[in-house]
Structure 1
Amino acid sequence: MRTPYLSIIFATLAAVSSFTYAINEDLAPESATGTLHQNSITAQQQMVVTAHPLATQAGYHVLQQGGSAVDAAVAVQAMLTLVEPQSSGIGGGAFMLYWDNSTQRLTAFDGRETAPAAADENLFLTEEGTPMSWWDAMVGGRSVGTPGVLAMLEFSHHQYGKKPWASLFSDAIQTSKEGFNVGARLHQLLASNINPGLGRYPEARAYFFTPEGEALPEGHRLTNPALAHSLQQIAEQGATALYQGELGQKIVAAVKQATDNPGKLQLSDLQNYRPVARQPICRPFRQYRVCGFPPPTSGGVTTLQIIKLMELAESQPQQPDSLGFYHLFTQASRLAYADRGRYLADSDFIDVPVDALLDETYLQQRSQLISPLKDMGQANPGELPQTISQADDRSPELPSTSHFVIVDKWGNAVSITSSIEMAFGSTLMAGGFLLNNQLTDFSFVAEQDGKPVANRVQPNKRPRSSMSPMMVFDQNNQLVAALGSPGGSRIISYVAKNLYLKLSSDISLQAAFNSPHVVNRNGVTELEASTTAEQLAEPLRALGHQIKIKDQNSGLHGFFRQSDGRWHSAVDPRREGTAMGD
């Protein structure tokens, strides 16, 4: 019989208004800024779900004009660059799953940033040869990778766009000129000093703060004529405007002019950047086929490992609101995160054993390490046949990120996770947008005990990520769901938990998103603060868990096709996202 304190899965999240701040891996890339009540909407033909109402409107506007899912994605990303600058933008990168319903083909479009050609494994070492502090590395030009999202969107638009490229920027250009009202979330993130480097450089300081140095107040009308000009150039010239034109020169100048922490980025890095179309990773789970993004992100492999380990370790089906469910989830997470830290990196540079990590026999053996009665403690990576001996990664990986999903009236769909890394990125601006600090997703050390780290810095290499855009298909190969989340290395936990809940029970995707988070990244078990997850603290301690209660910073967005054929939206109450459809 279930006891009251374990019945937490359907509980409404309490408002979270406090901020946490520490210079260590516990620092949230974006602090919690409260919760909003979110209702699921339904749509028969097409739907857009994003992290900001104006971005949702921009994408939906394109769909209403006969645009495709990729067309709408371009419009959404352009608008997010303006209205959610702390999370993503054209100065960053993205991973996009695209489902072409007419050909029944799924493609993984890789727009991840790359290390400059002049970068090497010493990039984040001090003159004494020791790793830099993360904050010293992050703020300024050193951490800026070659932006990839715009090239990736143009690449996919050439194949799947229906509307003229230039038309997709109209809403973002107009809003940049006319301005938008600063929302509660942006104001609170500015006021919280979540990125203390934001006031270091004059362009960002003048844009985000009043002349007196105060954070822009909620309701302030914020215009961005520089971004309007940049987007107009991109609309007219294509991505060439950023990678070969005036914008590229501005980006390189910003990186070099940060003389307190200059970077290696050159105009040739921008000119030589190429997005990549990769093969998604798909595996069976229950009666579904679940698909994720391959390396250089660790998200697809690790998420698929977690949900399969849980399925294999079940002696009997777990109630989604039970102590047994959350204990099982943390143990599967420990095993998967251990493998992630050793084996996953950019597969263009490292031989990543994807098939071995997802082999069912291997996962069955790993699942036997899970006890229903005791926390296993820190898990070791699994031993894989025919792999190069490697050391575990040392990267804090604190991305600030956004996720959005779109399905058009032809049944084509995108699931996109887009990021500039830490909230407000490197804090450098060029052309009205922030530049990423994604290079800090590399390991700061290249080897340990004489063994190379897979995720070490190398020229032109893509840093490992945790971004986890996912899609789910039924037995007839029909798309039934798309989802993803921001949240740094916790992204995998957020996505895996909600995938498992939805695909293993009859709760709605919105109810799953509303549920409190319980996270274990092969360390302490984190319970989401100010929610009923706190009631699990003592039962989990009794099983040997070390417990930490803290805010969680997910931003889950997705949709699920119910048996009635309608798309049902799901929006994370922890952010300010919305859904629109018809």
Structure 2
Amino acid sequence: MAIRASRWLNLAGFGLLSLASVSLTSASLAQPVAPSPEAPTGRIAKGAGAATKDMVAAANPLAAQAGREILAAGGSAVDAAVAVQLVLNLVEPQSSGIGGGAFMVFWDGKTVTTLDGRETAPAAAKPERFLGADGKPMKFYEAVVGGRSVGVPGTVRLLEEAHRRWGKLPWRQVIEPAIRLAEDGFSISPRLNGLLSQEKYLAANPVARAYFFEADGTPKAVGTVLKNPALARTLRAIAEKGADAFYTGEIAEDIVATVTGHPTNPGDMTLDDLKNYKVVEREAVCGPYRVYKVCGMAPPSSGGIAVQQILGILETRDMAALKPGPEAAHWIAEAGRLAFADRALYVADPAFVNVPVKGLIDPGYLKSRAALIDPDKSMGKAKPGDPPFQKTFLFAPSEGIEFGTSHMSIVDRDGRAVSMTTTIEDGFGARLMTKSGFLLNNELTDFSFAPEEDGKPVANRVEAGKRPRSSMAPTIVLDQGDKLYAVVGSPGGSLIINYVAKTLVALLDWKLDPQVAADLPNLGSRNGPTELEAGTEAEGWKAGLEAKGHEVKLIDQNSGIHAIVVTPTGLVGGADSRREGVAIGNN
């Protein structure tokens, strides 16, 4: 589908939009609302918004409205993030929730701080966890479905820790919108119904079947009001007793029973695993791009490093002069190959592997990597480089991705910002729903299934207490005066890295407004074929790339970019039209 020429707007001339098309009434959380249908490769600017005081860009209108309600009450960006996440647990349960984990990048006006709420492997986990009886890696869904794949959830601890540090409103108040919606119900959206219709494993879980499906096994219809009193009780307990209500007591016992009680693929999580979970503050991965400073998440996420590597390589080119097209796609894809080659070899949980972060984003190293790119010919398969400042031996490469993911970008009236990517890994996670009202993640399948390759240990192998590598790339961009410029992120598995890099090039080099940047065709390479988004203008770039020796694949790339940019007249936001989100705020 073509992007209309009138949509190619430049931020310099982008004025404030009316919020009428995306605004929800303050009572909308108590009244079930069916979001607009999603077109996977649609190009209507349904998610765009602008505001003068604050803004939330999130994956569902009800979640975004919950965040705006909290901001309007004087809440901080973190207060709003708590509300958004808990409502997403209800309205977008396939993508995130309190049964999963998250990474948060926070800007307080002076400093970028990151919190790691990634899931951890149970204490009983061993490197051979995903090997079958024949010693070979299990098939993906053999590993996913059941308790074996469930990591110790981190989202609730992360939300509590962030709120303790940067929240303004009472903890109970920021949880209340989700409790209200869980009790009163919401209308099943076309997107949720469509995903349930395609789902093969979820209905085998009795709790999930009773919640999501009719008695005959068909998904509940679009517009059906879905209520979750069990989750409301869980959230009330968390509101009253804090995160300890989740990590100890009845809720924790329910989680462990659900994980260990699967009839064919049980896990080994214990109450001690839950009780001992901790959020980790990590130094942000920051680096220059043009006149900007781009900051993201450190390992165990590979996203911050890989995005910074792609940008550092592209900085050697005049991307502004290229504009979207096959030439720009060539450079973005080649930069992606180099970044993904390093990612596979070097990045894992830094508690287990000495990741050479400083060397991987070193400007001199990135210039040397950029010199490997031939303007006229694809390199095909890139090899990992030899970054400076290494303190580790080389591991074998491995791969780990997540698909059941969401993202929110938030800016409050004090100029503080949250970029948070949140996940349960695959769509609907491990296909286990607790009696407490939420789905559990399958995050442990983000580890490498094979613990060794060619006689070398794999950096991202399973180990007790370890956090699996992620591709999530929540990002905050500062301008040349160290002032907030943009808040960006996306779901999408390992494609997240390319989605975020594309959007940053569109915002920083091509000066497109956030909605257009989000809706640009997705493209890139994960050190394999050059992948162009099917059904978009990018299909027309195929011949030009093939002439440069690229192996090109046209694939669906259902990103969920949520971006906010600070302009002289206020905040401008975009929510990826491939999903059902919006960007809304207060004036």
TM-score with structure 2 setting the length: 0.92
Alignment partner of 1:218 out of 186, 211, 222: 222
Residue 118 (1) aligns with residue 124 (2) = yes
Alignment partner of 1:465 out of 461, 465, 470: 470
Which position in structure 2 is the counterpart of 1:513? 518
Residue 540 of structure 1 and its aligned partner are, at CA, apart by 1.1
Residue 436 (1) aligns with residue 457 (2) = no
The answer to whether the 8 A contact 2:518-2:563 is kept is no
Between the aligned partners of 1:199 and 1:320, the Cα distance in structure 2 is 46
Which position in structure 2 is the counterpart of 1:95? 103
Residue 360 (1) aligns with residue 368 (2) = no
Residue 69 (1) aligns with residue 74 (2) = no
Which position in structure 2 is the counterpart of 1:390? 394
Residue 495 (1) aligns with residue 500 (2) = yes
Which position in structure 1 is the counterpart of 2:175? 169
Cα 1:490–1:8 shift into 2, 3 Å: farther
Which position in structure 1 is the counterpart of 2:326? 323
Residue 539 of structure 1 and its aligned partner are, at CA, apart by 1.2
Residue 399 of structure 1 and its aligned partner are, at CA, apart by 2.5
Matches within 5 A, 1:272-421: 272-312=276-316, 314=317, 318-385=321-388, 386-421=390-425
| Aligned-partner residue type, residue 110 of structure 1 | D
Cα 1:176–1:493 shift into 2, 3 Å: same
The answer to whether the 8 A contact 2:121-2:151 is kept is yes
The answer to whether the 8 A contact 2:160-2:242 is kept is yes
The answer to whether the 8 A contact 1:51-1:403 is kept is yes
Give deviations 1:237-261, integer Å, cap 9, x for gaps: 1111110121111000000110210
Alignment partner of 2:51 out of 43, 47, 60: 43
Cα 1:445–1:224 shift into 2, 3 Å: same
Give deviations 1:289-329, integer Å, cap 9, x for gaps: 110110010000000000110112x2775422232111000
Alignment partner of 1:142 out of 148, 151, 154: 148
Alignment partner of 1:548 out of 544, 553, 556: 553
Residue 11 of structure 1 and its aligned partner are, at CA, apart by 7.8
Which position in structure 2 is the counterpart of 1:580? 584
Between the aligned partners of 1:98 and 1:262, the Cα distance in structure 2 is 37
3-state DSSP class of the match of 1:429? coil
Residue 510 of structure 1 and its aligned partner are, at CA, apart by 1.5
Residue 375 of structure 1 and its aligned partner are, at CA, apart by 0.9
Between the aligned partners of 2:229 and 2:553, the Cα distance in structure 1 is 44
3-state DSSP class of the match of 2:148? coil
Residue 377 of structure 1 and its aligned partner are, at CA, apart by 0.4
Unaligned runs of 5+ in 1: 13-30
Cα 1:523–1:236 shift into 2, 3 Å: same
Give deviations 1:335-386, integer Å, cap 9, x for gaps: 0000000000111111000011111111111111101111110001012354
Between the aligned partners of 1:396 and 1:283, the Cα distance in structure 2 is 25
3-state DSSP class of the match of 1:519? strand
The answer to whether the 8 A contact 1:377-1:523 is kept is yes
Between the aligned partners of 2:320 and 2:235, the Cα distance in structure 1 is 51
Residue 151 (1) aligns with residue 157 (2) = yes
The answer to whether the 8 A contact 2:398-2:459 is kept is no
The answer to whether the 8 A contact 1:390-1:453 is kept is no
| Aligned-partner residue type, residue 467 of structure 1 | M
Residue 55 of structure 1 and its aligned partner are, at CA, apart by 0.5
Matches within 5 A, 1:170-185: 170-185=176-191
The 4+ residue runs of structure 1 with deviation greater than 4 A are 5-12
Give the aligned CA root-mean-square deviation in angstroms: 1.9
Matches within 5 A, 1:215-254: 215-254=219-258
The answer to whether the 8 A contact 1:421-1:436 is kept is yes
Which position in structure 1 is the counterpart of 2:529? 524
Cα 1:135–1:507 shift into 2, 3 Å: same
Unaligned runs of 5+ in 2: 10-37
Which position in structure 1 is the counterpart of 2:566? 561
User: Which moves more between the two structures, 513-522 or 393-402?
Assistant: 393-402
Between the aligned partners of 2:6 and 2:449, the Cα distance in structure 1 is 38
Between the aligned partners of 1:157 and 1:461, the Cα distance in structure 2 is 25
| Aligned-partner residue type, residue 379 of structure 1 | A
Which position in structure 2 is the counterpart of 1:21? none
| Aligned-partner residue type, residue 487 of structure 2 | A
The answer to whether the 8 A contact 2:400-2:469 is kept is no
Cα 1:364–1:208 shift into 2, 3 Å: same
Between the aligned partners of 1:131 and 1:391, the Cα distance in structure 2 is 18
Which position in structure 1 is the counterpart of 2:21? none
Residue 33 of structure 1 and its aligned partner are, at CA, apart by 3.8
Q: Report how many aligned residue pairs link the two structures.
A: 554
The answer to whether the 8 A contact 2:406-2:422 is kept is yes
Which position in structure 2 is the counterpart of 1:446? 451
Between the aligned partners of 1:483 and 1:396, the Cα distance in structure 2 is 22
Between the aligned partners of 1:256 and 1:32, the Cα distance in structure 2 is 38
Alignment partner of 2:269 out of 261, 265, 268: 265
Residue 177 of structure 1 and its aligned partner are, at CA, apart by 1.2
> Quick one: percent identity of the two aligned structures?
48
Which position in structure 2 is the counterpart of 1:106? 112
Between the aligned partners of 2:350 and 2:321, the Cα distance in structure 1 is 36
| Aligned-partner residue type, residue 446 of structure 2 | D
Between the aligned partners of 1:567 and 1:6, the Cα distance in structure 2 is 23
